[in-house]
Amino acid sequence: MIKLNKKAGAAEAIFWTIEILFVLIPSLFIVRSVVDSSIEVSLPDGRLENYILISRIFYSKNSIFYMDSYTGRQDLHTIDINKFNESTLKQLFAKDNIKIGLRLSLNTGTINKEIFFNKPFYEGVIVRYEKSDIYDAIHQNILVTVMHDDKHIEKGILKLSAVFEVK
């Protein structure tokens, strides 16, 4: 019907193939991601999850707090100095590549100790979280007592800083 020479015909075909590829396929991806993100937005945000995870530090029996071996009960305000280390935190949050960073610093008359979980992430985020909607942070100062090996108890303060990626 339309007479075009061979060269022009090939050029036209390439042109339309490229146009279709560049319009159709990206359009589908865009719609898919729009639908996905609208589903994400309508689900609860990650802040609830962050608070649940922080609770693990305060309430889990595998956390840093002292547990009476006889009653099996945990004293939620007494830190067991033997459990106050990074290995405890690593076991408590046993997953690689998680977007959580923690800094716990304990100060008493005789102890001044700081432990981290996922330190590179923590340090990377803490400086810029306030300027971003992607990250969230929780800071708490708690009065505690510290149980030493010889069952000697000392008063102190625990400072907790936690940073998260908001999903």
Partner 1 sequence: MFKLFSSKKAMAGTELTLTTIISIVVSLTVLIMLIVFVNNVQGTTIYERRFLSMDVALFIDALYAAQGNIEVIYPKDTLWFSYNFAPGRVEVSYPQDILSLKEEGYTFIPDSNMQIDEIKISPVYNDKKLLEKKAQFKFLKLPDKIKVKEGNIIEGTLLKTLDCPELESAESIQGKTSYVPPIVDRPPFEEERFKKTVKESFVAVISYKGSHPDQNTNDIVAYISDKKNIKESKRVACLILNKIISDEKLNSIIQQKSLTPITGISIALTDSFEILNQGNKYIALLLKIGNKNIEKEKNILEDEEANHAVMEAISRGKEEYD
The residues binding partner 1 (CB under 8 A) are: 1-3, 16, 19-20, 23-24, 27-28, 31-32, 35, 39-40, 42-44, 48-49, 52-53, 55-56, 58-62, 70, 72, 74, 90-95, 98, 100
To the nearest whole angstrom, how small is the minimum distance from the Cβ of residue 18 to partner 1?
A: 11
Sequence-ordered list of residues with C-beta below 8 angstroms from that of 91, at least 6 positions apart, any chain: 62
Using the minimum distance from each CB to partner 1, give the nearer residue, 61 or 131.
Answer: 61
Residues in the chain: 167
To the nearest whole angstrom, how small is the minimum distance from the Cβ of residue 34 to partner 1?
A: 9
End-to-end CA distance of the chain: 56
To the nearest whole angstrom, how small is the minimum distance from the Cβ of residue 155 to partner 1?
A: 24
- Which ranges of the chain does DSSP label H, i.e. alpha helix? 6-42, 47-59, 86-92, 119-126
Q: Report the distance separating Cα 131 and Cα 110, nearest Å.
A: 37
- Residues facing residue 74 across a β-bridge: 67
Using the minimum distance from each CB to partner 1, give the nearer residue, 56 or 128.
Answer: 56
Query: DSSP readout, 99-139?
Result: SEEEEEEEEESS-EEEEEESHHHHHHHHTTGGG-SSEEEEE
Using the minimum distance from each CB to partner 1, give the nearer residue, 77 or 155.
Answer: 77
Using the minimum distance from each CB to partner 1, give the nearer residue, 102 or 108.
Answer: 102
To the nearest whole angstrom, how small is the minimum distance from the Cβ of residue 153 to partner 1?
A: 21
To the nearest whole angstrom, how small is the minimum distance from the Cβ of residue 93 to partner 1?
A: 5
Q: Report the distance separating Cα 24 and Cα 57, nearest Å.
A: 49
Using the minimum distance from each CB to partner 1, give the nearer residue, 24 or 157.
Answer: 24
Centroid of chain to Cα 85: 19
